[in-house]
Amino acid sequence: MTAIINQQIPEFTTEAFVDGDFKTISTKDVLGKWAVFMFYPHDFTFVCPTELEDMADHYEELKGLGVEVYAVSTDTHFVHKAWHDASPAIAKVKYPMLGDGTGAITRGFNVMIEGQHAALRGTFLVDPEGLIKVAEIHDLGIGRSVKDLVRKVKAAQYVRENDGEVCPAAWEAGQETLKPSLDLVGKI
């Protein structure tokens, strides 16, 4: 597996189910703002709806941070709509659900399970230039926490806005940061 941090997101154009409608979404729609890509194995499964509901519960907070969320599976936008209509958890989803029937986007982020035509649980935070700043990949049985993702978004945005500063472990907005220098070597 090659390092994906600071790599450009892959070029794509796909159909999505977005808040009750179908919409074409491409890489150009992503650029210029922060984005989260949340890959999951398949619609109509078990851990997936809990994760998408958790993201839905934090969506307004993420939007307030200037972040758009894109859920991605290898299902089509039609299947996303059917799942949205059938599941109370998925009915809460207002962010775009990208259809990736060909698997091109999933492969582009290197989270495809080829023998199953399904994605690993991959979460990627992308900056406004389209560079991946956070990559988190889980096995299928391990659900994610959006609460910690929000913390990572705030840290990535802080580092981008404050050249020369870095955020230590478990950093929360408002806490002290570090300014790497010779003076800090061996003192932390």
Instruction: Specify the CATH number for the domain of residue 65.
Output: 3.40.30.10
Residue type, 98: L
The answer to the question of residue 3 being in a domain is: no
Catalytic residues: 48
Burial of 124 (0-12, 13-18, 19+ CB in 10 A): buried
Q: Looking at beta carbons, which pairs linking 63-67 to residues 24 or more positions away fall under 8 Å?
A: 65/34, 65/150, 65/153, 65/154, 65/157, 66/33, 66/34, 66/157, 67/33, 67/34, 67/35, 67/36, 67/153
Beta-sheet pairing, 67-73 with 97-99: parallel
Per-residue pLDDT of 43-54, as tens digits, reads 999 999 999 999
- Do residues 77 and 15 make contact, with C-beta atoms less than 8 angstroms apart? yes
Task: Tell me what the mean pLDDT of segment 67-92 comes to.
Answer: 98
Residue 140 lies in a domain: yes
3-state secondary structure of 32: coil
Say if 77 falls within a structural domain.
yes
- What angle is formed at CA 83 by the lines to CA 78 and CA 88, rounded to 5 degrees? 150
Question: What are the beta bridge partners of residue 178?
Answer: 166
**Does 180 map to a domain?**
no
The answer to whether residue 99 is domain-embedded is yes
pLDDT of residue 1: 56
The pLDDT assigned to 184 comes to 77
Candidates 88, 63, 93; CA nearest to 77 is 93
Structural domains of the chain, count: 1
Q: For position 188, what pLDDT does the model report?
A: 80
Q: Which domain holds residue 42?
A: 13-163
On whether the CB atoms of residues 93 and 77 are closer than 8 A, the answer is no
pLDDT of residue 29: 97
> Does residue 20 lie within any of the structural domains?
yes
On whether residue 177 sits in a domain, the answer given is no
pLDDT tens digits along 152-168 = 999 999 999 999 999 99
In a domain, 63, yes or no: yes
